[in-house]
Amino acid sequence: MPDLVSLDVTDVRRRFSALDRGFAFFDGAGGTQTPDVVGDAIARSTREASANFGAPYATSHRAGATFEQAEAGAAAFLGCAPGEVTFGLNMTSLNFALSRTAGRTWAPGDELVVTALDHDANVAPWLELAHDLGLVVRVVPINPDTTLDLDGLRGVLSDRTRVVAFTAATNAVGTKTPIREISDLAHAAGALSWLDATHFAAHERIDVAALDVDVALCSTYKFCGPHLGLAYVREAVAAGWRPYKSRPSASTPTGRMLSTGTPPFEALAGLNATFGYLEEIGGLEAIERYERGLAEQFVATLPDGVTAYGLPGVEGRVPTFMVNVDGVPAATASRQLAERGYGVWSGDTWYSLGLYQSLGYEDGSLRVALSHYNTADEVTGLVAALAELGS
């Protein structure tokens, strides 16, 4: 059962107007609901801080303070220095920009490593870069249980490997990867460790210094924030890059150097409120313990007639599950669940093309993504609804 000592879900839910409508959201992998304080902060920013850097009046000062607070908050969230943080439209946009910057000095025949477990946001940028520069892309396979094949990774590394791009946790089936071990393998080959932390960062604390990654990216709407991309780039790495940017814009610190234009001040105000919210409810440590209890309940009560993919239990995963109801197409099941008051998406690839090809299901699948604002009663209701669909 959920750890109600670590997290007061009643207190959590009262902070979300969206949760006061009798509908249970199990779609956090596609984006969480947002607490009211985040929307209030965004609206207040548009009223009181609609300006850019550098002007000698109050609105500009407020915008600058918002930005500095966001840098500090993001640094604390990721475990890095404020000057190593940069922001963008979303993780995908940031990844296209940063991968282009990183690859400016690479030569034809240099090698890029991606994995079959990853969301395409950490695969497509490297494929496009390889296409333009004549680089070689190596793909790390996955094991039948959806874990990453580390021997396969070792087998594709060479002295020409320039980057190992990998996920911390898949948004499709929730499987986690051994981040530090992969980083060590990348560095031993002389390559960058390039982490997509988008799905992982919503459920467990990330510490880029302890994990020894060179780049880590995520999108804040996965952990109750606004639609905004967030990235860490190790200062020693970014210092050697020539970024794509307007020439008069900031050149220090490196995080600001990598920014392509005016920051999204309104979204940053919302992000500051998000960090405040997470701290108030006990942080990611409390969230992880509580969500683990929900996941254990879901796995233990999953009815016959429902096929679950990937790892068999909660070990080695974040609380995200891919399932199908026997005899019911996923799109039909999703629609019928919504009619019963449960928000569960249906899809095919979930943007993880390598994983999709490995699992081999037909007619799509359902993705059940638990979030810390879900309750044990909601899980009970969802499981009962799944059983009714299959009866």
pLDDT tens digit sequence for 217-258: 999 999 999 999 999 999 999 999 999 988 878 888 999 999
d(CA 18, CA 374): 12
Reduced to 3 states (helix: H, G, I; strand: E, B; else coil), residue 103 is helix
Q: How many residues does the chain have?
A: 391
Residue ranges, comma separated, of all CATH 3.90.1150.10 domains in the chain are 9-33+283-389
d(CA 344, CA 377): 16
How do residues 6-40 score in pLDDT, each as one tens digit? Answer: 899 999 999 999 999 999 999 999 999 999 999 99
Residue of 138, 131, 95 whose CA lies nearest to 113 = 138
- The confidence band for 302, taking pLDDT boundaries of 50, 70 and 90, is very high
Give 204's DSSP letter: S
**Pairing status of strand 306-308 against strand 320-325:** antiparallel
As a CATH number, domain 9-33+283-389 is 3.90.1150.10
Query: Is residue 1 predicted with pLDDT exceeding 70?
Result: no
State the SS3 of 275-341. Answer: HHHHHHCCHHHHHHHHHHHHHHHHHHHCCCCEEECCCCCCCCECCEEEEEECCCCHHHHHHHHHHCC
Fold classified for 39-278: Aspartate Aminotransferase; domain 2 (3.40.640)
Averaged pLDDT for residues 181-191:
98
What amino acid occupies position 38? Answer: V
Residue ranges, comma separated, of all CATH 3.40.640.10 domains in the chain are 39-278
Give CA 176 to chain center in angstroms: 12
How far, CA to CA in Å, does 348 sit from each of 47, 202, 325, 330, 383?
42, 23, 15, 9, 22
The partner residues of 308 in beta bridges, in order of sequence, read 323
